[in-house]
A = this chain, B = another copy of it.
Amino acid sequence: MKAEIIAVGTELLLGQIANTNAQFLSQKLAEIGIGVYFHTVVGDNAERLMRTIELAASRSDLIIFSGGLGPTQDDLTKETVASYIGAGLVTDRVAMDRIEAFFHQRGTVMTQNNRKQALVFDRGDVFPNDTGMAPGMAAEHEGRTFVLLPGPPSELYPMVERYVMPYLINLLPERQVFHSHVLRFYGIGESALEERLLDLIEGQDNPTIAPYAKEFEVTLRITARAKTMQEAEELIAPVESEIRNRLGAYIYAEGETSLHEVLVDELAQSGRTIACAESCTGGRTASLITSVPGSSAVMRGGIVCYTNEAKHDLVGIPQEVLDSAGAISEETARLLAENIRQKLGASCGISVTGVAGPDPSEGKPVGLVYIGVAVEGLPTVVKEVRLAGSRHAIVSRAAKFALFYALQRLKKGERI
């Protein structure tokens, strides 16, 4: 099945927003094995939109539109597609009730043009809009499937997850279940990970194995297609097991989460608390931890000891350590982690000290970072890492390494 995605909206052609809907839809279609061959963006212009529809219908089996379902004169996707496929437009009662309720709740008067949003094709399927007003819809015409979705990502994403994906899976030649496991890695780059799994990635067709790199982390999606969910799980199990055998040390979680969420969750579950002393990360580690709702139950606080005076005065690092080993050293990292833990009465103290760049410091190279983890009842550990990239990349990576090592130490209690 050949698919293409058409985004309608002049704001895209003016560069006011990026076409993230096409990216999201492409990912979702790839997951269920539907190939996307083109993305097109066209403005709110009936004639150019019609030419775009004609071209798409000449080369694709599945054409997915986003945008142009709103209440204004500019919104003409529905009307133009209806005209192309010879469909009439009728009011969808559920959508109309929703729109009226929305205005009633806000205590404002509904203008007439909002009724337009409840119009849907007089044949095919309707997708409810749980987070907005204009419903989505789908209809067939001459062997092609036309799917229309609202433009705002906050409406399109949930509609796709809840209603459009089951509809599309139903379109596939054989009735199939698509099921994924997502593994989250830290401490290994995308290319190193690919290299270690190359035989699996190249050899496999079902399940497929797709690595993604984002915000200095790598995730791996293992997707199986099968007749039943159980069969899909059975296809995934041996592959996942092999991946865990090879790279288990780098896996910190499954599914949609993040290092800071997993760490806060681990602390909350075990009734423990954390505190951090940061030099080169300058507050980034604390900022990640406190970005998690409910972190106030586990976060005791932190000190950004950017100067040697602050390391000495606020975190009690002896002057002779700063003079001999230096601020960027295993010993300073160890003392920072231990002292911040005691000072704030936390179960776990973490520290980060290193060179974020752009210039070397203490004669030590850009990217050299020491991370200390002091957990109550366990010997303190310090890891030396060497990070590449910009100042921003080094700071982000170092902060995530601190979270990753703290998590490993707290979870497994073993040397890291």
Contact = CB atoms under 8 A, between A and B. Distances in A.
Interface of A: 12-20, 22-30, 35-43, 48, 52, 55, 212, 276, 278, 281-287, 289-291, 293, 295-296, 299-307, 309-310, 313-314, 343-345, 357-358, 391-392, 395
List the number of copies, as a whole number. 2
Contacts of A306: 290, 295-296, 299-302
Given A25-B15, A41-B22, A290 B301 contact: no
A23 B314 CA distance: 47
Given A305-B301, A358-B293, A14 B27 contact: yes
A306 to B, nearest CB: 5
A386 to B, nearest CB: 17
B37 A13 contact: yes
A231 B166 CA distance: 59
Contacts of A20: 18
A396 B305 CA distance: 22
A350 to B, nearest CB: 13
Contacts of A301: 303-307, 310, 314
A203 to B, nearest CB: 19
Given A286-B304, A296-B307, 17 more contacts: A14-B36, A15-B26, A15-B27, A15-B30, A15-B36, A16-B212, A39-B39, A39-B41, A283-B283, A283-B286, A286-B287, A290-B395, A299-B307, A301-B303, A301-B307, A313-B344, A314-B314
A276 B42 CA distance: 48
A15 B19 contact: no
Contacts of A302: 283, 303-304, 306
Nearest to A390: B293
A28 B281 CA distance: 35
B392 A291 contact: yes
A287 B283 contact: yes
Nearest to A42: B38
Contacts of A48: 37-38
B15 A24 contact: yes
Contacts of A395: 290-291
8 contacts: A15-B29, A18-B22, A40-B41, A284-B290, A286-B287, A286-B304, A290-B395, A300-B310
Nearest to A30: B14
A37 B43 contact: yes
A358 B293 CA distance: 7
A290 B309 contact: no
A195 to B, nearest CB: 17
Contacts of A300: 306-307, 309-310
A25 B303 CA distance: 43
A309 B343 CA distance: 11
Contact of A19 (B22, B25, B276, B345): B22
Nearest to A18: B23
A43 B35 CA distance: 11
Specify which of A15, A30, A296 lies most central, judged by the most chain B CB atoms within 10 Å of its CB: A15
Interchain residue pairs A-B with the least CB separation, the first 5? A282-B290, A283-B286, A15-B26, A15-B27, A283-B283
A47 to B, nearest CB: 11
Nearest to A39: B41
A70 to B, nearest CB: 16
Given A14-B30, A39-B39, A301-B307, A282 B293 contact: no
Given A36-B13, A293-B391, A314 B303 contact: yes
A38 B40 contact: yes
Nearest to A41: B39
